[in-house]
């Protein structure tokens, strides 16, 4: 996706910020249950700050983050939205290493 006059932001830029949030927070790190709150907070705060800076004031931003220990079991995440596809969007970044899976999504909705 690219920037459209209706949206006022570029979804490729949103994706880059989601990826940067995970890269910055995780680095070469391994899954550590005791540090999940800190990891969640760092990812959500960084992504929200960066995405909020590039979107028009009329766009609300919601960032979600799911972290699952990579134990060989599968996991499924789903969502549904009812909105105007010409102005609203969801952008998702998925990360996986030997010890964890992370899915970060940004929902951008015109108010």
Q: What is the pLDDT of residue 28?
A: 76
- Where do the DSSP E strands lie in 56-99? 59-69, 89-96
Q: pTM for this one?
A: 0.90
Q: Strand, coil or helix: what is 79?
A: coil
Contact between 25 and 43 under an 8 Å Cβ cutoff? The reply is yes
Q: Which parts of the chain have pLDDT scores under 70?
A: 1-6
């Amino acid at each position: 996706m690219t920037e459209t006059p209706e949206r006022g932001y570029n979804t490729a830029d949103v994706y880059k910020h989601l990826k940067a949030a995970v890269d910055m927070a995780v680095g070469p790190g391994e899954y550590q249950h005791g540090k999940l709150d800190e990891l969640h907070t760092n990812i959500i705060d960084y992504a929200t700050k960066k995405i909020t800076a590039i979107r028009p004031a009329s766009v609300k931003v919601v960032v979600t983050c799911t972290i699952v220990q990579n134990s060989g079991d599968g996991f499924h995440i789903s969502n549904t939205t009812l909105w105007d596809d010409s102005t609203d969007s969801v952008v998702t970044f998925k990360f996986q290493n030997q010890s964890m899976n992370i899915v970060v999504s940004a929902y951008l909705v015109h108010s």
